[in-house]
Amino acid sequence: MKILGEKIRHYRKLRGISQSELADGICTQATVSLIEKKDKIPSMEILVRICERLGITMNLVIVNDDSQIYSIISDIKKSFYQDDFDGINDKLGKLKNINVNNKQEIKLIHFFNGLIEYVTSQNYDKAIFDFNRAMNVNIANVDMYDILIDIFTAKAYINKKSIDEARVYYNQAKDLIKSSLDKIGDENYHDSILIYANMADLSLKLDDNQRAMDYANEGIFIARREQTLFKLDEMYCYLADAGTREGQKTDEDYIKAYVISSISENKTIFEKLRSKVKDMHLNIF
């Protein structure tokens, strides 16, 4: 259980009473201050009497662990969509003192811990350890994050120069995608695009150019269907890079990636393509 101290404060101020007045005959003013500022959980008797004095029910100011965990993990996913890895790390910290029993949530926590090690710390051994812990959570049904776990495990092995191991997880991810095509199409489009964008990137890293183009095109199709720019610049960039390796004309794809990265303010892709567009003498307009 967690108490929402800011809610206590909100209702106290709504009633126009001070902390001392709220505490009078129930507890100390310091206790009320700790509740409001530090989310300190008082005894049940104190909490009941405070809520009675405020004229509210307890369910307005407390959340159980399951609701709290679900909310935090939902926020972690949103940070993942925004490439906000500091935000992911901060939110993971909020879960450290909460008892998590749901297997799906345990799997996701291991995955995101591994992702932080992979992206922020670049500790690829620790990332692989966390990804494997996620894989070892025994859940009957495959979901989108099982595919992402394989993808990022492969990427971690590539960064360790362990290409053979990377290909094992790359092949697992390909098999999971093949067996889950309908599910991917029906899933949250952010997750579907993340799978195809990261598979295009991974395929390029493993010199599988045709599959890189296939995965990029699948992701672009979903992004256009959903009318979103999410990862669209990256996918056009992967499509163009793979096509260039295969000797195809890719000017249009590079231009699309460049323009979309400018609109979406994706500095990484924009800076990568700015010199390329100039060197290739591409006419943007």
| pLDDT tens digit sequence for 56-69 | 988 788 766 567 78
Residue 51 and residue 45: Cα distance in Å, rounded?
Answer: 10
Contacts of 222 (CB under 8 A, 6+ apart): 185, 189, 192, 193, 196
Provide the terminal-to-terminal Cα distance of the chain, rounded to the nearest Å.
Answer: 58
Note the pLDDT of residue 71.
83
Residue 117 and residue 241: Cα distance in Å, rounded?
Answer: 27
Residue 78 and residue 110: Cα distance in Å, rounded?
Answer: 17
What is the tens place of the pLDDT at every residue in 193-243? 999 999 999 999 999 999 999 999 999 999 999 999 999 999 999 999 999
**Residues lower than pLDDT 50 in the chain:** 285
Contact 144, 120 (CB under 8 A): no
Exposure class string for 6-28: b at 16+ Cβ within 10 A, else e: ebbbbbbeeeeeebeebbeebbe
Residue 12 and residue 109: Cα distance in Å, rounded?
Answer: 36
Note the pLDDT of residue 139.
77
Contact 9, 29 (CB under 8 A): no
Q: What tokens appear for 69 in the block?
A: 């965990």
Q: Count Cβ atoms below 10 Å from residue 141 Cβ, excluding itself.
A: 7
Domain 67-279, CATH homologous superfamily name and number: Tetratricopeptide repeat domain (1.25.40.10)
Residue 185 and residue 53: Cα distance in Å, rounded?
Answer: 52
CATH of segment(s) 2-63: 1.10.260.40
Note the pLDDT of residue 66.
66
Question: What does 44-70 look like in DSSP terms, one character per residue?
Answer: HHHHHHHHHHHT--GGGTEE-HHHHHH
Q: What is the pTM of this model?
A: 0.76
Contact 105, 66 (CB under 8 A): no
Note the pLDDT of residue 283.
60
Integer CA distances (angstroms), 273 to 241, 266, 267, 277, in order: 11, 11, 10, 6
Element (H, E) at 2: strand 2-3
List where CATH 1.25.40.10 sits in the chain: 67-279
List where CATH 1.10.260.40 sits in the chain: 2-63
| Tally of CA atoms within 13 A in the half-sphere of 103 that contains its CB | 10
Question: Pseudo-torsion of CA 104, 97, 92, 31, nearest 10°?
Answer: 130
Contact 173, 150 (CB under 8 A): yes
